Amino acid sequence: MPTLLLGLDVGTYSSKAVLVTLEGRVVRQAAVSHGLSTPAPGFVEHNAEGVWWHDVKVLCGQLFDDGAFSAHEVAGMAVSAIGPCLVPLDESGQALRPAILLRRRCACEGRSGGAEPRDRTSRAFGAFAHGSVEPGRGAEDPLVEKE
């Protein structure tokens, strides 16, 4: 019968995991560091496969590989991650580019009324969400403003 809960947190510079009993007692924890990409001023990215998925696999290995606990003992799981973020995928589910980590700056300086995001990442997120840009890579990336 499952008697453990698994918690995962994918953060900006590291990912963490914890196994707890149903009563809330921590029985094992693990962490792994990862990098952050800033391809242009105001842009923050993670490689979804190389950071997010990699970290989850490493953390689960740290929690379960010695045999003291089994994944079959896990009754439930909670995941916390950076948000909001966006990973554009192709038809087969493969990432088209690194994940975009949305960082909003204050948009209401000297304004009254609603808050309209000003930074480029927020605008790009909206453009992807509405299908108005095709993702690229490197210098051809539509998220990097041309001077």
pLDDT tens digits for range 5-28: 999 999 889 999 999 999 999 999
CB 103 within 8 A of CB 118: no
CATH of the domain at 40: 3.30.420.40
Q: Is residue 9 part of a domain?
A: yes
Tokens of 133: 């840009």
Q: What is the pLDDT of residue 68?
A: 93
Q: Is residue 147 part of a domain?
A: no
In this structure, the strands spanning 14-21 and 4-10 are: antiparallel
pTM score, whole prediction: 0.67
Is 55's pLDDT higher than 80?
A: yes
Task: List the beta bridge partners of residue 99.
Answer: 46
- Domain total of the chain: 1
Q: Which domain holds residue 72?
A: 4-140
Q: What is the pLDDT of residue 143?
A: 52
Within 13 Å of residue 58, how many CA atoms lie on the same side as its CB?
A: 17
Q: Is residue 96 part of a domain?
A: yes
CB 17 within 8 A of CB 30: yes
